[in-house]
Amino acid sequence: MLYFSKLRIISVIVFTVIFSYFAFSNFVKFDDKFFSKNINLGLDLQGGSYLLLEIDNRPVITQKLQAKIIELKRYFKEKQITLKNFSLKGDTILFETTDNEIENVKNILNDKESDVNTYYPTYKSHEFDVLEDGNLFTLNYSRYGLVLLKNSSLDQAIEIVRRRVDEIGTNEPNILKRGNDRILVELPGLDDPNRIKSLLGKTANLTFQFISQNNEESFGTEKLSFEDGSRDAIVSKRIILSGDNLVDAKPTMNSQTNETVVSFSLDRVGAKKFGKATSTGVGKQLAIVLDGKIISAPSVREPIIGGSGQISGDFTFQSATDLALLLRSGALPAPLNIIEERTVGPDLGQDSIDAGILSLFIGFLLVILFMIYKYRAFGLIANLALVSNLFLLIGILTLFEATLTLPGIAGIILTVGMAVDANVLIFERIKEETKNEKNPIIAFDAGYTKSRTTILDANITTLIAAFILFFMGSGPVKGFSVTLGVGILTTLFSVYFIARLLTSLYVVKNKDKEQLL
């Protein structure tokens, strides 16, 4: 166990030096691209916000079901099959057919080539589960139909969230899918999450609808209230134009009224629709509706055919900027709720870093002093191993650009405390062996050999704990498991290569001395 070949000595040194170099690259600026890597600081250390958003798919499901009813009506009408008494109860579509059409309708709905009930060969399932009881049919989203629906609405939502976050321009945001209805947003270094929270909290569904003067509208009407809560208005359900047709929006100053407004431009289809609607509706009030609230309802004085317009309302420059941003980035398919928020201010982050480094330094010093007191020369060897262990650990974290969190720093300190364990086990074993064995080289060799399984057993148990934490934990706790786990590996390396190398050099040199340890 004490013999080292030249090649091995060199590789141990090279390995240690490389990783120490990486460790130092956190503190010193190297020109080299490859070597100037940095440990990522977690949100708890650099400050920032962690937001977990959950998409509320209920409106999407209802919308899709309503659309499905229209599609079914049209489809069966073309086939000249009579369906009647359509209704939507909760998430279930109900309809009836005539007795002699039952089989026919059933076959169409359950056909693998069905046009109205898509079949997914990969899941071996239709979009809808069809049940029939006599001539009464019920359609429900199948498990996979629902999964696909949720995935597609999540994909859309994530895209919109990304656009909104990018528009605000924080540095390196992290936007990830979580399950099939959640989005994780990490915003490092963000000082004030309130603005982004209110931006993400808005669906931003923009529509233009005429205010109805009488109730003769063929599309039906709805009662909507103004955003400032001052009054209500009866609005036609007919949507002239929606936010989908917007190509750009920006806050501007209206030179005539001296108000801040949001000016927008439309795509070709939108411009056409808007032109047509405004030319027939001169004199009417056009309500601009955002998420079910009327922002303003100006009167149409003349047809707007240029494909651009302005939205007025009691805007400050900030609120106009935000509305423009929302309109540019598009509407969310469904509302998002913030179900978890963790925000750390930058100065608390810095305080945590300072406290973490201070406690690391003190913990390290205490352990080093204790080892020297306990083992003298061998304490020094164990300490050298400990120092290189620390460099290796930080070096590896740097190389993989791992995220360091506050519990992660605690993990490093804990590693420092526990890392000496392996060397202690070996040294204590050597002491025992020296009692029966006069030749120090044999005694040292036996000490290393006999303690090996114990050391492996002991470290594997901690490694198991670290692994489970890594897979089950989140955020800062995950950072802890990473440093703890990597710390065990570097500990084993520093004990079996670095400390053993130093021990063997020392023992061979001083083999004639009495009582080495």
Partner 1 sequence: MRDISFNKFYRKFNILSLVLILISLVFLIFKGLNYGVDFKGGTLIELRTTDKTNNISLIRDSFSQMNLGDVSVKKFGNETDFIVKFEKQNSNDPEFIKNIQNKLSSSIGGVDFRRVENVGPKVSSELLKSGIIAISLSLAAMLLYIWIRFEWQFSLGAILAIFHDVIITLGIFSIFSLEINLSIVAAVLTIVGYSMNDTVVIFDRVRENLRKFSDIKIFELTNISINETLSRTIITSVTTLLALSSIYLFGGEILKGFSLAMILGVIFGTYSSIYIANPILVALNVSQRTIVKEEKD
Interaction residues for partner 1, span 318-377 (CB under 8 A): 337-345, 347-348, 351-352, 355-356, 358-360, 362-364, 366-367, 370-371, 374
Beta strand 206-210 pairing with 241-242: antiparallel
Instruction: Tell me how far apart the 2 most distant CA atoms of the chain are, in Å.
Output: 111
Interaction pattern, residues 437-456, with partner 1; x per rule: CB under 8 A: ----------------xx--
**Interacting residues with partner 1 between 270 and 299 (CB under 8 A):** none
Q: Note whether 469 binds partner 1 by CB under 8 A.
A: yes
Element containing residue 351 per DSSP (H, E): helix 346-375
**Interacting residues with partner 1 between 401 and 430 (CB under 8 A):** 406-407, 409-410, 413-414, 416-418, 420-421, 424-425, 428
Shortest spacing between CB 53 and partner 1, in angstroms = 9
Which one-letter amino acid corresponds to residue 509? K
Shortest spacing between CB 170 and partner 1, in angstroms = 16
Q: Tokens 């995220």: give the residue.
A: 403
C-beta closer to partner 1: residue 148 or 466? 466
The partner residues of 207 in beta bridges, in order of sequence, read: 242, 289
Q: How many residues make contact with partner 1 (CB under 8 A)?
A: 73
C-beta closer to partner 1: residue 44 or 127? 44
Residue selected from 322, 476, 494, 503 as contacting partner 1 according to rule CB under 8 A: 476
Distances (CA, A) of 352 to 44, 391, 408: 8, 21, 12
Shortest spacing between CB 16 and partner 1, in angstroms = 22
Question: Residue 396 has what DSSP assignment?
Answer: H
Residue selected from 73, 197, 238, 250 as contacting partner 1 according to rule CB under 8 A: 197
**Interacting residues with partner 1 between 21 and 50 (CB under 8 A):** 44
- Residue among 48, 93, 103 nearest 73 (CA): 93
Q: Tokens 């070709």: give the residue.
A: 268
Cα–Cα dist 226/209, whole Å? 13
Cα–Cα dist 47/192, whole Å? 10
Asked if 263 and 239 touch (Cβ cutoff 8 Å), the reply is: no
Asked if 296 and 312 touch (Cβ cutoff 8 Å), the reply is: yes
Shortest spacing between CB 366 and partner 1, in angstroms = 4
Q: Note whether 468 binds partner 1 by CB under 8 A.
A: yes
Q: Note whether 384 binds partner 1 by CB under 8 A.
A: no
Alpha-helix runs per DSSP H in 317-439:
317-329, 346-375, 377-399, 406-436
With contacts defined by CB under 8 A, name the span among 19-27, 323-331, 468-476, 499-507 that binds partner 1. 468-476
Shortest spacing between CB 215 and partner 1, in angstroms = 33
C-beta closer to partner 1: residue 121 or 229? 229
Helix (H, G, I), strand (E, B) or coil at 122: coil
Interaction pattern, residues 140-179, with partner 1; x per rule: CB under 8 A: ----------------------------------------
With contacts defined by CB under 8 A, name the span among 133-141, 206-214, 227-235, 480-488 that binds partner 1. 480-488
Helix (H, G, I), strand (E, B) or coil at 77: helix
Cα–Cα dist 439/162, whole Å? 69
Q: Note whether 67 binds partner 1 by CB under 8 A.
A: no
With contacts defined by CB under 8 A, name the span among 77-85, 162-170, 190-198, 210-218 that binds partner 1. 190-198
The partner residues of 338 in beta bridges, in order of sequence, read: 53
Asked if 42 and 475 touch (Cβ cutoff 8 Å), the reply is: yes
